[in-house]
Structure 1
Amino acid sequence: MSTLLTLHRPSPAAGRDAQALHRAATPDFFGWLEHTRAAAGCTRPIRLTGTLTAVEPDTGRMLGERHTDELPDRTLYKACGNRRAAQCPDCAWVYAGDAFQVVRCGLTGGKTVPTTIAAHPVVFATLTAPSFGAVHHRHIPRHTCTGRRRCDCRPAPCHARRAPGTCPHGQAVACFARHDSDDPQLGRPLCLDCYDHDHQAVWNYFSGELWRRTKQAIERHLTALCRRRGIGHVQAVTDSGKVRRVPPVRVSHGKVAEMQRRGAVHFHVLLRLDGVNPHDRHALVPPPAGITADDLDAAIHAAAQQITVTTPSHPDRPQGWSIAWGEQVDVRRIGNGDGDVTDGKVAAYLAKYATKSTEVTGHCSTRLTPDTVDAYADPEGDHLARLIDACWRLGRPTHTPTSNTAAPTGGRQGDLDSKPNPYAGLRRWGHMLGYGGHFLTKARRYSVTFGHLRDIRATYRRTEHDDTITVGVLAFTGSGWLTDGDALLANTAAAQHRERQRVGREELAHETWSEVAA
């Protein structure tokens, strides 16, 4: 009688637990935890080596020097700083906090922004992409729920028609389903062959240029309105000392791009009316008394209806594509009270979407290359595969004659003269379905910058325990934790630290409320 021996391969979880136990058994475990605290919750921290020098801030005198070889793991850990929650939740949580402060300070002031801007007229506008073909959608004609967060209202049929038929490709043009909010069919075309994937990819690519021209049209509309109402230009002094006549009103904005389920971006924009100080053009002063939020509302609608961008010629479409906004343009007032649209709710809403990208569409990848694009692009595949294929195909080297009709997202008008194909960036941003802009941008005068907030946080960390400043001369050696066990321990410690902070904030808020109530 023979004996059958079965060999079991250790599971990854077992190996990770063994690595965590080995790390926890080392004598300097708690020192290692403290050493990794700055990057504890990061998915793939940056590993640095070099020297760290302690400097006295007042005199600049060097107090001591230390090499990273003396630290645990002989390296210094730094958080990756990725804004995308799907890539690194902890760094995205920090980014969302910074985004909240950037947006909120532009509404209420604070952090070098004067609090007087809280009295400036502000509106919250949503600009969407046009239709590129019928898609499955969820529409609730009338809400009867008390709160939208837990909405249980019954949606209307998706695409109900009295005479159901088929499209030229034999697909049904009607859909009587009442889709749930998590239905994977939402955003998918009723007919893939009828849908204009090329136009949508190009629209995503040139949407930044469309917004730039729309912003200019809004300011021109307000300038003409001031002229009609007898509000003259202001004689302002420039940085060079020259005197220029400038319009008496200007618009400062904060903008967040959100990817819809169909793969087209739309913009949520906060627009604030500011005036001009003739003696200090950088000062934030109220707009003229004759210009109100109603005028800003009318300017946004007028600009959204009038502005279009005709893209340069392409071999697949010599006349180019027309880039314009969709019919849905929503403009709401921002209030400081307890209404549906308050500054705090809007700031939290925009900060949430600043950490997202294409995850809502079901696609999430890094930058595509000729070696990896075939795994995602397919001209006969599903909706996302055809969008990526359109980006890759239209962005091919075609040596198209350049045109000064429009500039791609993030480029200047003259950049087109040196590019053989003005659509070449579509390949670079194929993993973003053609959109190459940043997901949170703002006007220079709107609020503080992310760099300013990061500098404040870095300064606090350098001087948290003493009165010295740490200066590092460091070099990159790699990314990621050394073992899966280290990642488990560091991320668990970071999660516990965030939970203690959350509980502490709730207790502090409860004590403050109790004192006010008493």
Structure 2
Amino acid sequence: MAADLIAVVPDQARLGPGLRPTPTNGSAGSFTGRDESAFHRATTPDYFGWLDHVTAAAGCSHPIRLAGEVATIDRATGQLLGSMSTADLPDGEIYKPCGNRRHAVCPSCARTYQRDAYQLLRAGLTGGKGIPDSVASHPAVFVTLTAPSFGTVHTRIVKRHTCAGRRRCDCRAEPCHPRRATDPTARPCQHGQQTVCWVRHEDGDPRLGQPLCLDCYDYDAQVVWNHSAPELWRRTIIATTRHLNSRARQLGLPPVVQVTASGTVRRVAPVKPSFGKVAEMQRRAVVHYHAIVRLDGVTGDPDVIVPPVGLGVDGLVAAIEHAAATVAFTTRPHPARPEGWHITWGDPDKGIDVRAITADGEVTDGKAAGYLAKYATKSTEATGHVSRRLDGDVVDLYADEHGTHPERLIDACWTLGGHRDWQQLRRWAHMLGFGGHFLTKSRRYSVTFRILRDARTIWRRTETGHEHADQPEETTLIVGLLTYAGSGWRTTGDALLANTAAAMARERHEIAREETTAAA
């Protein structure tokens, strides 16, 4: 539990460059000052009332503080039934979790986001949360799509795993880049750097993902590929859909007639893919996609999800593999490259992996959803770079054309982004060019994060007695007339006490769940 506490207490040294905690009292920088502020809070008469008040944001590293009034209004008549001012609450403010998905910024909120992501992704495979249970019978595949090579980097390859779990893999890796002395490619590059590496890298080796020669690496092409990856995925899904439609016509499957909300009649294909995907930033600082793709049938009602007819998992695998191997496009021109950059996925034999999801096979619904949810809370941490959005005043702290691997990527973003048609590269320089969201889904695949959050809010209100579970509908409306008062805990002592209470509650919850599972 101690490690968990250290991670969630705001601390400048642990947040990394570019992530600064909200200023606290003058003694917050010392451990003694933290102890004093914690002791002062713990000895106040309303200490336990304060703990109850901050429960919703107790584990958050940077909670949002709100001040103002909360009014209760009758839905039917609009009459004001009552109001409550935050001035009457402990600290005179309401504490709300920051909701940040990045584990490096707020482990507590990231854990909630990760669990929501798992429920969202798994519901698309097994049903529930408003998705019909019949989706469990639909063909579904787990897809991994990676980027092409932009230069030789240090890597760790394990051809055969003998470990029980990949999270703590200690299997013997193959040599990084072995070559015989007689091999012409084993000669040093034009910059005098070795192109051979016989090291069997461990999983935590800081050299993993770093180019063997920084000067030979194509940084411009990589940041442009990162920026173009969402468009490449969009085109891949379109190509997959077209391939499935073509296959349906070959099998003689009749099209389906649909009537839109505006009364327009259209004929559509009888099958349609839906997906949930996550973008993972590799150690070499280029994104690649993990996705769950499900094949659905189409009816006259576009909102109804039914099993497909005539096409199975083999047809879905063939469609995705064909699309990933053939889809490509060229970007708009740039003064640094007038012909534009050619955007495509990596080697079809190595960069494209499509596996069927089965109930008891190598890839199950739980494993696939858990794998994607794990990466939904990560960002650029694996590359060694962490910062907020950059501007001209601070970019020189992170960008250097002769610096480290991440520094050169940021410099490439900033340099290429100086052109008026490529300004988005500067906007996303802190993300090394990638401007897409790290978790997206198609509309039909599953529920939304908002539905899950609203359900959790209703459950908490019911659990604490604010609402009745058997109440047919809400008869009152809660309106918050609140304004932003600040971010972060008032003192590091408050952070220590609140995070400790949250960690203890999580520990009790985990113990109870383990005992319940063991008893079952």
When normalised by structure 1's length, the TM-score is: 0.90
Q: Which moved more, 1:184-193 or 1:460-469?
A: 460-469
In 2, Cα distance between equivalents of 1:350 and 1:178:
28
Residue of structure 2 equivalent to 1:403: none
Contact 1:16–1:485, Cα closer than 8 Å, also in 2: yes
In 1, Cα distance between equivalents of 2:277 and 2:222:
21
1:397-476 correspondence to structure 2 within 5 Å: 398=419, 420-421=420-421, 423-463=422-462, 464-467=464-467, 470-476=478-484
The one-letter code matched in structure 2 to 1:388 is: I
Aligned residue among 274, 286, 305 for 1:264: 286
The one-letter code matched in structure 1 to 2:406 is: L
Residue of structure 2 equivalent to 1:405: none
The one-letter code matched in structure 2 to 1:493 is: A
The one-letter code matched in structure 1 to 2:516 is: L
Q: Deviations 1:321-357 (Å, cap 9, x if unpaired)?
A: 00100012111111122x3311111111111100000
The one-letter code matched in structure 1 to 2:354 is: V
Residue of structure 1 equivalent to 2:127: 109
1:29 aligned onto 2:47:
yes
The structure-2 alpha-carbon separation of the partners of 1:311 and 1:119, relative to structure 1 and needing over 3 Å to count, comes to same
1:393 aligned onto 2:415:
yes
1:283 aligned onto 2:301:
no
In 1, Cα distance between equivalents of 2:455 and 2:483:
23
Residue of structure 2 equivalent to 1:139: 157
Per-residue deviation at 1:371?
A: 1.1
Q: Which runs of 4+ in 1 moved over 6 A?
A: 57-60
The one-letter code matched in structure 2 to 1:466 is: H
In 2, Cα distance between equivalents of 1:368 and 1:496:
37
The structure-2 alpha-carbon separation of the partners of 1:57 and 1:20, relative to structure 1 and needing over 3 Å to count, comes to farther
1:271-350 correspondence to structure 2 within 5 Å: 271-278=293-300, 280-288=301-309, 290-327=310-347, 328-337=351-360, 339-350=361-372
Per-residue deviation at 1:10?
A: 10
In 2, Cα distance between equivalents of 1:230 and 1:82:
49
Aligned residue among 248, 264, 272 for 1:226: 248
Residue of structure 1 equivalent to 2:144: 126
Residue of structure 1 equivalent to 2:97: 79
1:167 aligned onto 2:189:
yes
Q: Deviations 1:157-205 (Å, cap 9, x if unpaired)?
A: 1001112310111111100111001000000001111110000000000
Per-residue deviation at 1:29?
A: 0.5
1:352 aligned onto 2:374:
yes
In 1, Cα distance between equivalents of 2:318 and 2:346:
17
The one-letter code matched in structure 2 to 1:453 is: L
Secondary structure in 1 matching 2:514: helix
Per-residue deviation at 1:507?
A: 1.6
Residue of structure 2 equivalent to 1:497: 505
Secondary structure in 1 matching 2:209: coil
The one-letter code matched in structure 1 to 2:257 is: Q
Mark the runs of 5 or more structure 1 residues left unpaired by the alignment.
1-8, 399-419, 513-518
In 2, Cα distance between equivalents of 1:31 and 1:55:
26
In 2, Cα distance between equivalents of 1:430 and 1:152:
35
Residue of structure 2 equivalent to 1:66: 84
The one-letter code matched in structure 2 to 1:212 is: R
Q: Deviations 1:77-109 (Å, cap 9, x if unpaired)?
A: 111000000000000011011101110110011
In 2, Cα distance between equivalents of 1:10 and 1:122:
52
Contact 1:365–1:431, Cα closer than 8 Å, also in 2: yes
The one-letter code matched in structure 2 to 1:200 is: Q
Mark the runs of 5 or more structure 2 residues left unpaired by the alignment.
1-26, 468-475
Secondary structure in 2 matching 1:502: helix
1:38 aligned onto 2:56:
yes
1:373 aligned onto 2:395:
yes
In 2, Cα distance between equivalents of 1:219 and 1:11:
56
Contact 1:309–1:324, Cα closer than 8 Å, also in 2: yes
Contact 1:199–1:321, Cα closer than 8 Å, also in 2: yes
In 2, Cα distance between equivalents of 1:305 and 1:175:
30
Residue of structure 2 equivalent to 1:213: 235
Per-residue deviation at 1:59?
A: 7.2
Residue of structure 2 equivalent to 1:477: 485
Give the % identical residues: 58
The structure-2 alpha-carbon separation of the partners of 1:17 and 1:267, relative to structure 1 and needing over 3 Å to count, comes to same
Secondary structure in 2 matching 1:305: helix
In 2, Cα distance between equivalents of 1:147 and 1:88:
27
The one-letter code matched in structure 1 to 2:293 is: L
The one-letter code matched in structure 1 to 2:154 is: H
Residue of structure 2 equivalent to 1:417: none
In 2, Cα distance between equivalents of 1:477 and 1:146:
49
The structure-2 alpha-carbon separation of the partners of 1:188 and 1:250, relative to structure 1 and needing over 3 Å to count, comes to same
The one-letter code matched in structure 2 to 1:459 is: I
Per-residue deviation at 1:147?
A: 3.7
The structure-2 alpha-carbon separation of the partners of 1:10 and 1:360, relative to structure 1 and needing over 3 Å to count, comes to closer
In 1, Cα distance between equivalents of 2:503 and 2:75:
33
Residue of structure 2 equivalent to 1:196: 218
Q: Deviations 1:258-298 (Å, cap 9, x if unpaired)?
A: 000000000001100001112x111001111x211111111
Contact 2:28–2:492, Cα closer than 8 Å, also in 1: no
Secondary structure in 2 matching 1:287: coil
In 2, Cα distance between equivalents of 1:214 and 1:130:
16
Residue of structure 2 equivalent to 1:404: none
Residue of structure 2 equivalent to 1:235: 257
Secondary structure in 1 matching 2:217: coil
Per-residue deviation at 1:235?
A: 1.1
Residue of structure 2 equivalent to 1:511: 519
Q: Which moved more, 1:164-173 or 1:259-268?
A: 164-173
In 1, Cα distance between equivalents of 2:335 and 2:311:
47
The structure-2 alpha-carbon separation of the partners of 1:153 and 1:224, relative to structure 1 and needing over 3 Å to count, comes to same
Contact 2:223–2:409, Cα closer than 8 Å, also in 1: yes
Q: Which moved more, 1:375-384 or 1:138-147?
A: 138-147
Per-residue deviation at 1:145?
A: 3.4
The structure-2 alpha-carbon separation of the partners of 1:94 and 1:16, relative to structure 1 and needing over 3 Å to count, comes to same
Per-residue deviation at 1:312?
A: 0.3
Contact 1:462–1:469, Cα closer than 8 Å, also in 2: no
Contact 2:291–2:372, Cα closer than 8 Å, also in 1: no
Secondary structure in 2 matching 1:162: coil
Secondary structure in 2 matching 1:475: strand
Per-residue deviation at 1:11?
A: 6.7
Contact 2:28–2:34, Cα closer than 8 Å, also in 1: no
Residue of structure 1 equivalent to 2:11: none
Instruction: Kindly report the root-mean-square deviation, in angstroms, between the aligned alpha carbons of the 2 structures.
Output: 1.6
Contact 1:462–1:470, Cα closer than 8 Å, also in 2: no
Residue of structure 1 equivalent to 2:173: 155
